[in-house]
Amino acid sequence: MDLLNTLVEKGLRRELPSREEALAVLTTSDDDLLEVVAAAGKVRRQWFGRRVKLNYLVNLKSGLCPEDCSYCSQRLGSEAGILKYTWLKPDEASKAAAAGVAGGAKRVCLVASGRGPTDRDVDRVSKTIGAIKEQNADVEVCACLGLLSDGQAERLKAAGADAYNHNLNTSESTYGDITTTHTYADRVETVRHAQGAGLSACSGLIAGMGESDADLVDVVFALRALDPDSVPVNFLIPVEGTPLAGEWNLTPQRALRILAMVRFVCPDVEVRLAGGREVHLRTMQPLALHLVNSIFLGDYLTTEGQEGKADLDMIADAGFEVEGAGTATLPEHRGGGGCASACAPSDSAASDSAPSDSASSAGAEASSARTDLVTVRRRGAGTDLAPNA
């Protein structure tokens, strides 16, 4: 297929594909799916070999968020029956993080619900980072605390944080349909705060919220322009009690096409398979390893993932290997930071979206909802039960 040959060549050169090419990946047929995966897999192996980086989430503070993000079970007014608790103490968070590290995680992601941290919250998290680093000096720590104010990113960096996560989630044009209590521009500003402080930026998206193909391409092109080091791709987990509980718009095949498109647009970036993989990829998860080079191990913030041992078995059975603590994740030319002019998008990246299939076309191909695969987390952080790692 000429399209795939072109995309592979561009990916190996770190050259931005056109919007039309990115859109075309999303509209390939199921008959061509293995060819799409194989092509994107060539790009993945060029920059990351067969390594898979493991990441582990620790939910420092769960529920009772004042923001109204429609996809989130912790949102203002959520009726989801999730765990609700205030800040974990540093030793509690360190203990939870240690379980993930013991399971093979190279990075621990510290997440707290809320609009953004107060200065006191930054102090709390700084102490938690110190406690984790004291027990596991080599582990990467990524903070995800919401919108940052001036100087907060610098304080987190000084405390030992390696990275900061703040996702764009969806396209700028549709952001107001998902969230009204803050703006898309607020999110972009926070990612830039993190980059300005010398933190490795982590920013990604959520697919399956009813967006169109053009929206998906818009947000991925925006991420390419923002140039984070890692791009987590989440697939909406429609949790009962949230406004998007009825949005079941994904099939395993569509999820794989989305991951392939992200890899072609962001060839040398850590693409992380994040929330919702078990719900939407299901038995096709091993194929996704040919597209991504990073996954979350174990459970998520408010829902449960598959058993940590199953993750490790899947990686080994698919012929991949867990990335060791002493191995650099990013290609040498990125140097742990941005890829500067070599990866800068062309002027065409800033153009308006090309016409595309509407969101309903994605929903039309979705299979029956697998609500049985959505399980609220009842173990790990905030409970007396052992975490899943």
- Give catalytic residues, as residue numbers: 65, 69, 72, 109, 142, 202, 272
Least confident range from 38-47, 160-169, 299-308, 322-331: namely 299-308
> How far apart are the C-alpha atoms of 309 and 103, rounded to whole Å?
8
CA 109 to chain centre: 11
44 assigned to some structural domain: yes
- In sequence order, the 6+-apart residues with CB closer than 8 A to the CB of 18 are 348
What does the pLDDT look like over 115-128, one tens digit per residue?
999 999 999 999 99
Q: How confident is the model at residue 368 (pLDDT cuts 50, 70, 90)?
A: low
Of the chain, the percentage scoring pLDDT greater than 70 comes to 92
201 assigned to some structural domain: yes
Residues in the chain, total:
389
What is the model's pLDDT at position 278?
94
| Interval 291-315 mean pLDDT | 91
CB atoms within 10 A of CB 27: 11
Domain count, the chain: 1
| Interval 190-195 mean pLDDT | 97
375 assigned to some structural domain: no
| Interval 79-98 mean pLDDT | 90
378 assigned to some structural domain: no
CATH code (residue 179): 3.20.20.70
230 assigned to some structural domain: yes
383 assigned to some structural domain: no
> How far apart are the C-alpha atoms of 5 and 33, rounded to whole Å?
14
> Could you give the maximum distance between any two Cα atoms of the chain, in Å?
56
69 assigned to some structural domain: yes
384 assigned to some structural domain: no
- Taking the CA atoms of residue 328, residue 50, residue 232 and residue 228 in that order, the dihedral angle to the nearest 10 degrees is 40
Average pLDDT, the chain: 90
Distance of CA 106 to CAs 48, 54, 100, 229, Å?
15, 6, 8, 15
User: What domain range is 42 assigned to?
Assistant: 2-340+360-367
